[in-house]
């Protein structure tokens, strides 16, 4: 069932576990994540970047596909369609298209402008029962052209944004998008503790979930992280399984070139990643 992400994240915060936000890029991705969530009886958040939304034919196409799958596949667990790193205009378009949750990423604006724009998005989204994620301190790395340097968020700026009525907050604590370099220093848990102190009882979001150790993830959850974003890991698993299929020459056997067969190993690989993450996050049987 399609829902906003507000309740599932409040429940996760209370229960000391996290909900996985898995970015979707096409039909196979969406189906893999939904079927795994249903099998694991876990709430789930389908993340859609503006670039992926455009690739899939627009936000309305994404909403139509997800709604159709939820109905046809008999998905009973809570599912949120969430805009990931949305621009000001992108967030408005996603709200209009029927997303159940949006992220407005104003982290690249001066704090006063971030506050002003976030406030406006909150009012618009909440008038339609849609949950809102905001960001303070840009997340490092690059995702669909959104580049961040991996800043450590200012706890007082986090407090200002958290007081605008948002539902959950992404705060930079040294995490990055994509693969982590060998010299990565790890997450700054002191900064996370100070942020949590200022924002109180509000779910926190950890972007760049690929490559963060299980130990660090569990420590983050203990400090209020209730939503963890995973994208690159699914992409790498999909690519590796597809490469293996083609290099083994299976696309030349019978009708192995049929996209339904060609993309099946990659889809199965995504399911394995999603399952593994749900186990680590502790969201299994929480639906």
Catalytic residue among 84, 105, 154, 167: 84
In the residue annotation, 201 being an active-site residue is answered as no
Query: What CA–CA distance (Å, rounded) separates 25 from 227?
Result: 19
Give the C-alpha distances (Å, rounded to integers) separating 72 from 13, 34, 93, 271: 31, 11, 26, 19
- Torsion angle, CA of 175/177/178/182, rounded to 10 degrees? -20
Closest to 27 (Cα-Cα) out of 46, 2, 4, 10: 46
222/191 Cα distance (integer angstroms): 14
What is the set of active-site residues? 84
């Amino acid at each position: 069932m399609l829902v906003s992400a507000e309740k599932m994240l409040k429940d996760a915060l209370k229960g000391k576990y996290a909900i996985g936000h898995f970015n979707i890029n096409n039909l196979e991705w969406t189906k893999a994540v939904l079927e795994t969530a249903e099998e694991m009886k876990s709430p789930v958040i389908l993340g859609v970047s503006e670039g992926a939304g455009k690739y899939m034919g627009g936000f309305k196409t994404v909403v139509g596909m997800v709604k159709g799958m939820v109905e046809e596949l008999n998905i009973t667990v809570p599912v949120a369609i969430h805009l990931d790193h949305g621009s000001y205009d992108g967030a408005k378009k996603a709200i209009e298209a029927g997303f159940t949750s949006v992220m407005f990423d104003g982290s690249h604006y001066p704090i006063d402008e971030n506050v002003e724009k976030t406030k406006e998005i909150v009012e618009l989204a909440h008038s339609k029962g849609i949950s809102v994620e905001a960001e303070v301190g840009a997340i490092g790395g690059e995702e669909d052209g959104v580049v961040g340097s991996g800043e450590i968020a200012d706890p007082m700026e986090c407090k200002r944004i958290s007081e605008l009525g948002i539902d959950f907050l992404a705060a930079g604590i040294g995490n990055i998008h994509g693969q982590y370099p060998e010299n990565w220093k790890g997450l700054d848990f002191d900064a996370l503790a100070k942020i949590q102190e200022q924002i109180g009882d509000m779910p926190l979001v950890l972007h760049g979930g690929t490559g963060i150790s299980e130990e660090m993830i569990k420590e983050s959850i203990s400090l209020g992280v209730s939503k963890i974003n995973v994208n690159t890991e699914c992409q790498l698993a999909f690519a590796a399984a597809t490469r293996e299929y083609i290099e083994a020459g299976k696309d030349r056997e019978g009708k192995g070139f049929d996209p339904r067969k060609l993309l099946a190993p990659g889809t199965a690989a995504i399911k394995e990643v999603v399952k593994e993450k749900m186990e680590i996050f502790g969201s299994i049987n929480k639906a």
